[in-house]
Amino acid sequence: MKPVSQFDNNNSLVKYLKDGEEKAYSFLIEKYHRQLFAYALTFVDEKALAQDIVQSAFLKTWQYRKKLNPDYSIKSFLYKTVYNTFINYYRKEKATMILEKKYYENMYEVVDELEDRNLNEFIKIVTLEIEKLPKRCKEVFTLSKKEGLTNKEISEYLNISNKTVEALITKSFKILRKELGDKYETLLFILFPKTDHSIKGITLS
């Protein structure tokens, strides 16, 4: 067995995996399981299904370890494998469902840019900025994007016009984009897609 320190380097880790080193595989699971599980949950609502997707991704990585490229990030490979496993699941189980490609492609782009930071950190930053929104903006934005109310329901609940609701949501997005910067633009799209379709996103707590 090789010492864990031998696996800290991407190139070395991949080489040990290619050689069938089981301890390297255990290290891989321990290091990335939590991140991949959180990533899978952005696509599906069920924890059990997310767990199955992640386990399948790890198994595929082990099965095809001989084809791994030491010069390619194993982390990126794992995220891509989870993504592809999810897509395959929907092709088999949800053949009639239309996937919004832009949504999922953007999700993968964001994850690919995270490097050593995980989605939870980014979500916390976004959540903090939402808390800083002007009172009325925060109230309407939360009802719309977190609670899932329609503009009409919000207007009736707060006794304001639909146009006012739309204006406050637009203002909220404008403030968030300004405060968070360009690199969070895609993440905002993922967290709060501007669509009436019910697509699984990330739940803010």
**What does pLDDT average to over the chain?**
76
Per residue in 74-118, pLDDT (tens digit) is 988 898 888 888 887 766 655 434 444 444 555 555 555 554 455
Looking at the structure, do residues 91 and 20 belong to the same domain, yes or no? yes
Looking at the structure, do residues 126 and 73 belong to the same domain, yes or no? no
Looking at the structure, do residues 128 and 55 belong to the same domain, yes or no? no
Are the CB atoms for 199 and 109 separated by under 8 Å?
A: no
Residue 82 lies in a domain: yes
Looking at the structure, do residues 90 and 131 belong to the same domain, yes or no? no
CB-neighbour burial class of residue 125 (10 A; exposed 0-12, middle 13-18, buried 19+): middle
Name the pLDDT band for 72 (thresholds 50, 70, 90): confident
Name the pLDDT band for 70 (thresholds 50, 70, 90): confident
Residue range 126-138: average pLDDT? Answer: 89
List the CATH number of the domain containing 25.
Answer: 1.10.1740.10
Percent with pLDDT over 90 in the chain: 17
Residue 41 lies in a domain: yes
Q: Which region, left, alpha or beta, applies to residue 100 given φ > 0 means left and ψ of -120 to 50 means alpha?
A: beta
pLDDT of residue 98: 42
d(CA 188, CA 202): 10
Q: Which domain holds residue 157?
A: 119-191
Residue range 153-181: average pLDDT? Answer: 88
Looking at the structure, do residues 8 and 92 belong to the same domain, yes or no? yes
Looking at the structure, do residues 92 and 40 belong to the same domain, yes or no? yes
Per residue in 133-144, pLDDT (tens digit) is 999 999 998 888
Are the CB atoms for 165 and 140 separated by under 8 Å?
A: yes
Structure tokens at 131: 């808390």
pLDDT of residue 189: 57
d(CA 13, CA 1): 13
Name the pLDDT band for 160 (thresholds 50, 70, 90): very high
Looking at the structure, do residues 81 and 133 belong to the same domain, yes or no? no
Residue 171 lies in a domain: yes
Structural domain total, the chain: 2
List the CATH number of the domain containing 177.
Answer: 1.10.10.10
State yes or no: pLDDT of 188 exceeds 80: no
Segments in 115-203 forming alpha helices (H)? 119-131, 135-141, 151-158, 162-180, 185-191
pLDDT of residue 4: 52
d(CA 198, CA 190): 12
Residue 106 lies in a domain: no
Structure tokens at 22: 């089981």
